[in-house]
Amino acid sequence: MRPIKIRPIGSQHGFTLIELLVVVVIVAILFTYTTLAIRGTSPEELIQEEARRLTRLVQLASEEAILRGEEYGIEIFVDGYRFLRQSDGKWFAFEGDKILRERELPSDMEIELQTEETDIEISNLTSSAITTFMNEASALEAALADTTLGGDGDDEESGEVSKVQPQIYLLSNGEITPEFEIRFYILGVETSYLVKGEFDGKLTTETSGL
């Protein structure tokens, strides 16, 4: 009889929880795209899918914020949204992150944000226009600092979003503040979808009329 080969447990490589969460989100998004492509999409289905996508991404970002012990945020535009992270008191966009990257909505779809206190007015500028403006403002600020203070202008960290605060905060203790409702809609389409976030981190998606 030949002896059984036993491999030591320590030699096996496992996945981290963050890696598993990312894989789950990617599979869910790819499955949805495939399903919609096969059966065709109506405006209502597009609205529903964008609402569900945001819900999944917020869940992932919130869990990642807990695991990393960092504060995350969401900045909402009239035509999309992006996730931010806080470092040294400043907010930064996620550069090169395929999951938490900036998202633009399909044509004609818009977002309405309401918190537990009041409606939040979202800038009519598109996400790309705001990004261009902030990049130009940051470059000008760095140039002025270099001229007046004699600095080398290299203190700006890649991905920094200057003078921008997220409307929604995903805290490292699992809380979401403020509680919010984000409505996805297309003008002329009766059905809209709400994504609701509660203080304890609970997220729900539901249909709503205009």
pLDDT digits (tens, 9 = 90+) for 31-64: 555 544 444 579 999 999 999 999 999 999 999 9
Which pLDDT score is estimated for 41?
Answer: 78
Which pLDDT score is estimated for 149?
Answer: 47
Cβ-contact 183, 119 below 8 angstroms: no
User: Domain for residue 9, yes or no?
Assistant: no
Alpha-carbon distances, residue 80 vs 8, 114, 125, 156, 184 (angstroms): 49, 15, 11, 25, 10
Q: Out of 38-47, 71-80, 94-103, 137-146, pick the least confident.
A: 137-146
Alpha carbon 109 to chain centroid, angstroms: 17
pLDDT at 181 over 70: yes
User: Domain for residue 147, yes or no?
Assistant: yes
What burial letters (b/e) apply to 171-205, b meaning 16+ CB within 10 Å? bbeebbeebbbbbbbbeeeebbbbbbbeeebebeb
| 16, two tokens | 């981290």
pLDDT at 176 over 80: yes
Dump pLDDT digits (tens) for 118-155. Answer: 555 565 545 554 454 445 444 445 554 554 444 444 44
User: Domain for residue 47, yes or no?
Assistant: yes
User: Domain for residue 201, yes or no?
Assistant: yes
Q: Out of 19-23, 42-46, 93-97, 144-148, pick the least confident.
A: 144-148
Specify the residue for token string 């919609």: 36
- Give the number of C-alpha atoms closer than 13 A to the C-alpha of residue 36, restricted to the C-beta side: 16
User: Domain for residue 58, yes or no?
Assistant: yes
Question: What CATH number does the domain containing 56 carry?
Answer: 3.55.40.10
Cβ-contact 203, 168 below 8 angstroms: no
pLDDT at 194 over 60: yes
pLDDT, average across residues 165-180: 96
- Which H helix or E strand runs over 87? strand 80-87
198 lies in which domain range? 15-209
User: Domain for residue 194, yes or no?
Assistant: yes
pLDDT at 205 over 90: yes
User: Domain for residue 5, yes or no?
Assistant: no
The rounded distance, in Å, linking the Cα atoms of 184 and 50 is 7
118-132, 160-174, 184-198 — most confident range: 184-198
The rounded distance, in Å, linking the Cα atoms of 184 and 79 is 10
Report the number of distinct structural domains present in the chain: 1
- Give the number of C-alpha atoms closer than 13 A to the C-alpha of residue 152, restricted to the C-beta side: 2
User: Domain for residue 1, yes or no?
Assistant: no
- The answer to whether the predicted template modeling score (pTM) of the entire model surpasses 0.75 is no
